[in-house]
Each structure stands twice: as C-alpha cells, then as structure tokens.
Structure 1
C-alpha cells in the first residue's frame, strides 16, 4: 500500500470540504473502507496496537457518510496523524554529516607504510606488490566496490539477497568436527532478538581446526547470554534463513540495548572494521589479504587532513561537491551509503574534470601556436558549385549541416580540428570532397590518408570519377606505387601542380614534401598511431585537419577520447536505401543459410562469409578462414567459385582477390575482418558472420555495412552456437536496429569502453572510479565546468594549484594526439 496515495486522498477530501468526494469509480469513504478492509501491508511491520488501530479505522470509515462535519474532520485528521507516524517508523533517520576528519597524528603523505604501527617490513613488502609504498598511495588506492553491513534489521525483517546486520543474544554455540568429513570443523551459533531466532554457521577446512582444544576456545569466545552483532548476505538454507559467511563480534557489555551497532561517527565499544559498517572491497593479488589492505588504509586515513583541494570553491558550491579530503575519507570508510555516493561523485568529477581540462588546454595551445591567417576568406569559386551539379542526388539535411560546419571552420583564421562521425553509407565521402574542393579553389594542396591500400584505392577511384569531370588531377600513393610513378607524384607535390594526393602511410615518408599543404583528411583515424597522424599534419604549416570515422562513437567516449576536437555527426542515411534484413541464426538452421546463399548466387549476386580467426585456435575452438574456405569450395559449393581474403596476405594478393570479387569472378568471398572497412561491392547481397558472439556490436554493424549497397534486398546472418543469454541479447540488438549510434551506445553498455575501443591504441585514460557508462551526467558537468574555466582563464594563471595537478598527472592526450 502506498502511503503517499493514502495521504493524497485524505488531503483532497479535506480540501473539498469533507463532502465524501465522489471519484471516478467510488466515493472517498468507499475507497478507505476498501483499504482498511484488507490486511495491512507486511512491510509496514505493525505491532499489536497498530494492527488494532488499523481495524478500528476500517470500522469507523464504514460510518463516514453518516458522520457530521466535525466528526469527519476529526477522523481524517486522526488518520493522517497515524499514517504519518507509520511513515516515520519506516523512514531511515536523516543522514548525518560526514564524520570530522581525524588528526594527522604526526603522519606525512610520503611516509613509507612499513613505519605505520602494525604494518612492519613484511606486510609493507606485500603491499608494495599492489603499488602501495607510501601513505599517499594508500589514500588513493580506491575500493573497487563496497559491501553495506550498515543496514541493521530485526531477524524477522531479514530478506534473502539483502546484506544486513543483526544484533541479538547468544542462545547457544557449538563447534565440532563433521561426522562425515574428519577434516571439516563446523561452527554453529544460535542468536535471538525480540522478533525471532537465527542459526549462523561457519566452516573451517583443515586438520588444525579439528583439535578439541581449538574448538573449545572458539566456543568460549561466544558465551551464552552475551550480546552479539552479525553481518552478512541473507540466504536460505535447509534450516531456514541464515547469513552467508557471517562476520560476527561479541558486543561490549556497556553498549546500550537499544543502541545501533554503528551510530553517528561510529560506536567506540565496537572495535571491528566490518560489523555494522560499509566495508570497502579493494583490488587484491595473490598472497595479499583484504584485511591487510584495509588495515593499511585505516592507519593512513588521518593523513587526508594534509591533502589540499585545488578545485575552485565556486565549482564545489554550484555542483554541491564534497571537499577532497572528506571525499577521500568517505570513499574508504563511509559513514553512510549517502556519504559514499557523495564521495564517489566528487572523485569521479575530479577524474573527468582534469581530463577535460587537459584536452581543452591542449586545443588552446594548438590554436595559439597556429598562425592566425585567414587563408580561406572567402570560400568562393566554381569548383564546389560545379561538384554539386555533378551529383545525381540531393544531399541529406545532415550532410548539408556538417558541410556548413566545415566551411565555417575553413573561414575561421584558426586551423580546423574536426571529427566527422557517420554511419555506414551516410555519405561522408561527399562531405570530404566538398572540403577538399573548398581548399583547392582557395589555392591550397590537400591530402587524404586511409589506413589500408584497399580503402585508399576505393577513395581514389571515387575521387577520380568526380575530379576528372572537374578537370583536376588526383594521384594515389601507396607502398605498391611503382618507383617511376612515385617520383612523378613527389615532384608534382613539391611544385604544387598536384592539388590532391590520396594514400596510405606512404604519405608520411620523409621524401613526401608539399609546396603548400592546407587541408589534411584522415579516414578511419583511430586506425593510425599518434605519430603517424602528427607526421602528416607536419607536412604543412598548421593545416586544417578533418578526421573521419565510420564507427559511430557514443558521446561519452567522444568526450573522453576527442575532447579537444570539434565533432560533427552525419546522423541521417540517404533516402531509398533498403535496411539489411538481419537474423541471428543457430547451428540447426545452417541448411537454410546454404539455401539462401544458393538462391542469391543463382540470381547473379554474391556472398561474404566472415570468420574471426585466420588459423585454428585450440583455446577458442573457432573455425579458421583457411579451413572454412576449403570446406565451402570442396564440400558445400563445388559449383561456385570461392575466394579467400585475410590479413596475412600480401597487399598485391589482397588487391587481386578483391578485384576478382568486384568483377564477379568470385561468387563467395571467405574473409576475416579485413572486409570491415573499404571493400565496396554493390552486387554483394549476403553477409554470413560465423561466431558472431565473438565480435563487438559496432564491428558487426560495420561488417553488415558491406552489403545493402545496391538496390536489391540484402541479408546479414549472425551465426552463433552460444547459449549464453547475454550473447544472444547483444546480437538481438542488430536484429532490431540499424542506427549505428544506438548500436554503439549498446555496445558500450554491454562490453565497456576498453573492449569497444580495443586495448592496444584506444587512448582511453585509466579511470580509478569513473565509468563512461554510468557517470555520463558527471562527465557532462565536468566538461561544462572545464569549458567555463578555460574561457575565463585560458592559462589558469589564477589557479596555480590546478596547473600543478595537471602537470603531475600523466596526460593521456600526449599518447592519443
């Protein structure tokens, strides 16, 4: 029963003059007769007096229509007072302020842990394995989780799955060797409170615990009649409810009977760091116990008073953030769950804030170093207009918006640094061409760099089609370019007569020199290393930079990775494209897949089959592309031509296979994820992905984008033998959506940022507490605060402490950019 609903009904009756208000289905009195005619809710935990009051009110409301006005007023007021009393009994006490900071007691932040009382050299050597050498290290070694033992309940209130603390009296305690296992010792403690009894058990495995003297010493620690506190997860056993692996402590006799075991600021008569408290769970390694880490942190905790807080007061006040020393204290041993949440919010804010501050300062420095010369003023000329006339289609509203943003950047005297995200088939190439032509018609040279020869060649072929009609030369420079042709291209770049060169990493070789490079476009930029991207930019004097990706990135990841870039999204597909029909397929349906492939090939179309590995892996038990190619060619489709493409082939061999597939010399192409980006064959209508559960959602979406590029209906078949619910739920996302940005968000939620971006060169910072999935609101607040601070004081001259913190932190932006 909802107390708020009952109080709202009473308030409406009072405001309407106590006239037994008529509702849609019943009157006020009929509603309350129905309420009190049922048993009271079990979770209200009414005692005998309150249950009698419940029944009395039910009887009185049956007479409500016959009562005069004063009697009705009295009954409604009495009911409201009683319900308010029930509400107060149910509500937890108001949150206390965080406990005052302890005094440092002679500690220093750089003091080695081995000199803390109770640690010593041996324990310090173990802690060093976790990187904990000093007091400061311990304070910043954040828990990975917490167990909340602070919820004190009566035994009858304990519910399965909840973590609670019980306080009661010991009724009996036994400790004995199991009759079925002579190496197992069983400890049973029966405790009782005013609401019931519960038996708690512990199990000790080992011969040393079977000694009768040891067992009797344990029993003596828990004498009958002593008060005891126990904390743990409530579970059901064959003997009823109990606590799983309980923490148990006998309470001091001077603890008042009605006192909670963990009151405000902690209770001095309870010595445990566990019972009745919110317990920190730290990352551990073999041979290091949780208790040792907790002890070290507890001993180091008074030193939080020595830590300064560089965050400006106005930011803390506006966003209601705890002071840093208090947050550090509460993240380790919080007084309440609310204080833990407040501490985490402050520390997560700091992680995001310093990240954003560093990114924005980097952008500021880059702009200051660039020559503020209006190179593109104004962007006029025939090239862009003539290009629009060549297009056989209308640009989407999203394309027009992004082009406007790019042209505005080009007019700005400061160099452009923009990222364009666009889903598969959204038309990023057309947007890039407009940018290239705008630069060229202003007298500048341009370069487009792609991560693979396949993708570079694809861009080159498209650009040749358009540029030839505009009477503009364009050349392709890759590792496969013949020496004579290469010398010709290098000469034309040096003289300035070649306005556009498309290429791979070959563009960043020292021999490649431009006369006046004004615009650099980097496609699939995340596939290049930091130095490679920087090397191309250094071919000109602070050229405008446009980076593109066909892998949509959720906003939180974009802020974390590219917070120093301006970001545009082409979030609209051209009209008329048929969605790829996507189905999750089980092993038993493989025959139907073969029939679909045969049907499509018979109609003149082609098929991709994609596998995750090149060679057989015993560990993962996956099919290899090589073996699958052989199986399909010899046993399944001997009547068709089956090709093979994988990453270990030479560039020439890859090009030959792709060219054969493009020219329909092959019916089926068996491949690894080499085809993820860059292979554009409009005639292909089927994409079969084996072991689809091994891929991320965004990668599957990219693979799916290789089909559906023509006018015919296309199909993507996600083959999986996995029985895991999570794997199937992930794959079902692709059945339901073709929105790359939505899929990227779901991928982030399912797998986390590290797996989504890849571990090798993701550039993601190492967050101790922050989660890009769960802390999006805090990230946005941190970004806004950093932007306001940089706008008001670009060099942070008024905030030397902030500058100092930024310098001491390892800036991931140096690795990323």
Structure 2
C-alpha cells in the first residue's frame, strides 16, 4: 500500500498487520490488522478494474448508427409502456453501441423490472444496423425460453438456438453479412465455438461469467463486440461497483405499471389449511401455481427426491383435483422443455419444482407460489422465487412455509413479508447475514479474496475512492512501481485466462 494511504487511514504497516493477525495483543489491534489486509485486496482489485477499462479504451468496435425513427416505432409496437428507468437504460445502451469503443455495461434490475425488454431494444438496434447478436443464458432451459421471448419482441428476426443438445442451425451456416440472433448458453464462448463476428453480446445472469470471460470476449479479431451483462439478483449499488468495477452500470428501479406487489405470507402449522384453501381458490379461478421444494438430503444434489415426493403427496392429497407436473435438475433437457411448455399452455396447473425455476421462468397466469422449507433459502433466493409470480395484472400470492423457525429464519422470512423491493432486501440480507453467503450462487462471482467479503461495503467504498484518487495523481503508477508490477501481472493473468 502507498505510504500516504497507510498514514491517512492509520493502518498498521504490512509487517505489523501480519504479526498482529497471527499474534494479536488485543481485539482492537487484530481488527485494525484485518481491515488493512482486506483494504489492500480491495484497493488492488479496483486498480485492476481501472486498468482493464483503460485497456478497453484502446480497442475498437463497430459503431452502430442510431436510427431514431426505427427505435421509436419498435418501442411503440411493444405490448406495454416502458418505465422511465427502462427508457433511460435502453438509451444509455443504444448510445454506447453507436460508439467505436466496445460497450461493457451491466444492466441491473429487480425481479420483474423488465430487463429482457431493454435487452430486446439493444438487439433490435444492432440488427437494424446490420449486426449479429449473441444472447447467452446460464442454462439450456433458459436459452430455450429466451428464444420464445425474443420471438415475441422481434417476430421478423432470424433467431437461432445453439446449445449442447439443441441446434436450429449449424455454425458453418451463419454468415457474416446476414443479421441474426444466436441464442446459447455461456458455454458457447467457453468451448471456443467459431462464431461469425458479433456486434453485440448479451449475457444473462452475469455472475456466472467472471471478469476473465468478459475480457476474453473483447480479445482477438479486428473489432470487439459490444457487451451487455444482466444480473438476476438485485445487488446494492456499492457492492455492484466492487463486483463489476470494470463495467458501466444501468439500474432498473421501477416496476412496470399495473403490477401489484406480491402478497407474501408466513405460513406456520396452524395456517396450512387456510393456505391450501387459498391455493385451490386460485386454481378454481383458472390460475396456476408453483410449489418449490428445497434440497433436503445432501446426497440428493438436484433436490429431485424431495420434489418427486412432494408432487406425489400433493397429487394424492391437498391438490388431488388438479393436474400436477414435476420439474427438477435430473430430468433430461427435452423433458424440462416439454414440462415448462405444458405449464405455460395451462395443461399443467401446479408445477412442483426445485430451484430450477428460480430465474427466468415467465408464466404470467401463475399467481401463487408455495415455498416449502422456506428457512433453507437466503433472502435473495426467496425474492427470486417470489418473482416467478406477480407477472400480470392479477393479484399474486407467495406462501413461505418453513419446516423450522429459528430466530434467524424468523427475521429473514418476516423481512420478506414486509419488503418488496429487491435492492432493499439485498441490503437487509447483508445486514442479517454479514459475511455469509449473501447472494446464494451469485457470490461465486465474488473475486477470489483471502479475507475481503461482500459484507465489507465501507472498506469497498474507501478502496474505490482511493483508487480513483491515485489514478488522478499517478495514472501510469510511475511513483508506485510495486503497484504497477502487481497490476500488470494481474492484467496478464486476465489476458491468459
């Protein structure tokens, strides 16, 4: 760390910090030492992001000219009115794509805030200007759903599905001079498939795609594609800037007009009869229902056993008059697609599932979700699951049914019944669980630090401020040769990976 930071922040020296961590004199000294070591990790990480941004500025991309008349017509053709936040984000993205430097933007939004519509506007803009787009989803089942969603937004577009088990076109048939959309999984890039030059790449569920993979997308070739990443989980702004500091940020913080908050209820043993009566009433009115089962047996890694058992029990008991379907991770890809299609067209009334439905499943007629073993899920994951309903003008319901009710679970579940804003819930989750696994699998995207965690928000802000200050004062690190060496080595590793 530069001497001025150590002095102004009253940090111990590196040697003193290491000594204090292993042989602390008191708690205060240990805390100061840990803060210094965490800060060093975060500070160097922010400098690396700054260097990646600077490196990106040297690369060229295709500048897709803005056809305002076409975009106005396209937006007017949408079956709903865009929110102000959607308009602002879409315009930021379109303006980025009109520049000859590669866009690297993160679109962050709450559940149901309309990220797909914004991405569709970006895709429409690039297609209209003659470019090829790739849309990457985290799983094959979601890739298939995105094809259906994009066809609704862009019925005349040439859309191809390209996943491990399903192909609607061979790569060799794709032509550089023919605008189209290629939809696949993240593996499309990670397995080195030779695609034609891309104008825009949209990455859904960004956290599964690390900084190295993002950087690899703009490597090679004469022109880099523009890159739009989207998060499935709302992340507090301060944390997003640390996790994704190499990206520009657009935030969707409004829900589409007419969408009512999902009425969320904590269901204890005495409430179960009332809850199932309510579910049956929803079904009688022609609506559909999700029942989500947790992973209970650690050996049952996909949760298939608990979901299968729940489906049998419900079909024979509380929901015997309904058509019950089953969806879990052990099913073959085609079976999953068929089951979801049957749920979407109403053939299946109740879908019993594992968390495979957590992200991206969009069935507007589904107005109730029962989450069994609710205490086993984190707040962010519960909010994602709740987001499977509330996708139409009908009032929707979320029933949280815990098996056990510890104090910690009580705080978490009661917070969900009161708070409907995903960003506020993410802040609450940080507060409740500290350095715990705040964002479920999303934290796999957190940098591989030895000490720093997502809960270290004040230190993250401080590290970001200091990195900006240093880059203003010494942009080439001429006065800080050790930092220059570290950043260059880290940047080489990003290039290599």
**TM-score, length-normalised on structure 1?**
0.56
Quick check: 1:544 aligned with 2:226?
A: yes
Deviation at 1:400?
2.1
Deviation (angstroms), 1:389: 1.8
1:350 corresponds to: 40
Give 1:342 shift.
Answer: 4.8
Distance 1:510 1:811 in 2: 21
Distance of aligned partners of 1:812 and 1:744 in 2 relative to their CA distance in 1, 3 Å threshold? farther
In the alignment, which residue of structure 1 is the partner of 2:277?
595
Task: Indicate which of 401, 409, 422 corresponds to 2:88.
Answer: 401
Cα drift, residue 330 of structure 1: 5.5
Aligned length: 494
What secondary structure sits across from 1:627 in the alignment? helix
Aligned-pair distance for 1:573?
A: 1.0
SS in structure 2 at match of 1:644: strand
Partner of 2:372: 690
Paired residues for 1:297-446 under 5 Å: 310-313=1-4, 315-328=5-18, 342-368=32-58, 370-371=59-60, 375-376=63-64, 378-446=65-133
RMSD of equivalent CA atoms: 3.2
Q: Which has the larger radius of gyration?
A: 1
Structure 1 contact 415–544 (Cα < 8 Å) conserved: yes
Partner residue in 2 for 1:745: 427
Contact 1:616–1:624 at 8 Å: present in 2 too?
Answer: no
CA distance in structure 1 between the partners assigned to 2:446 and 2:195 by the alignment: 33
C-alpha displacement of 1:494: 2.2
Q: Given the superposition, is the C-alpha separation of residues 812 and 608 from structure 1 closer, same or farther in structure 2, using an over 3 Å criterion?
A: farther
- Cα distance per residue 1:140-181 (max 9 Å; x no partner): xxxxxxxxxxxxxxxxxxxxxxxxxxxxxxxxxxxxxxxxxx
List aligned pairs for 1:2-41, cutoff 5 A.
none
Contact 2:203 2:229 in 1 (8 A): yes
CA contact (8 A) 1:490 1:511 kept: no
- How far is the alpha carbon of 1:479 from its aligned partner? 3.5
The aligned runs of 1:697-708 (5 Å cut-off) are: 697-708=379-390
Following superposition, the deviation at residue 763 of structure 1 comes to 3.7
Distance in 1 (CA, whole Å) between partners of 2:63 and 2:442 is: 38
1:403/1:319 CA distance change after superposition, 3 Å: farther
Deviation at 1:391, TM superposition (A): 2.3
CA shift, 1:553, in A, is 1.4
The alpha carbon displacement at 1:374 in A equals 6.5
* 1:499 partnered with 2:180: yes
- Residue of structure 1 aligned with 2:458, choices 772, 777, 780: 777
Aligned equivalent of 1:472: 157
Secondary structure, counterpart of 1:574 in structure 2: coil
Contact 2:130 2:178 in 1 (8 A): no
Q: Does 1:558 align with 2:240?
A: yes
Alignment partner of 1:460 is 2:163: no
Q: Secondary structure at the match of 1:781?
A: helix
Q: Larger relative CO (CA 8 A, sep 6+): 1 or 2?
A: 2
5+ unaligned residues in a row in structure 1: which ranges?
1-309
CA distance in 1, matches of 2:393, 2:320: 28
- Alpha-carbon shift at residue 801 of structure 1 (Å): 2.1
- Residue pair 2:161, 2:169 contacting (<8 A) in 1 also: no
The 1:677–1:537 alpha-carbon spacing in structure 2 relative to 1, beyond 3 Å, is farther
| Cα distance between partner residues in 2 of 1:640 and 1:361 | 58
Find the residue that maps to 1:486 and give its secondary structure: coil
- 1:604-623 alignment runs, 5 A limit: 604-613=286-295
**Deviation readout 1:168-217 (Å, 9 max, x if unpaired):** xxxxxxxxxxxxxxxxxxxxxxxxxxxxxxxxxxxxxxxxxxxxxxxxxx
1:426 deviates by: 0.5
Query: Please, which runs of 5 or more residues in structure 2 have no aligned partner?
Result: none
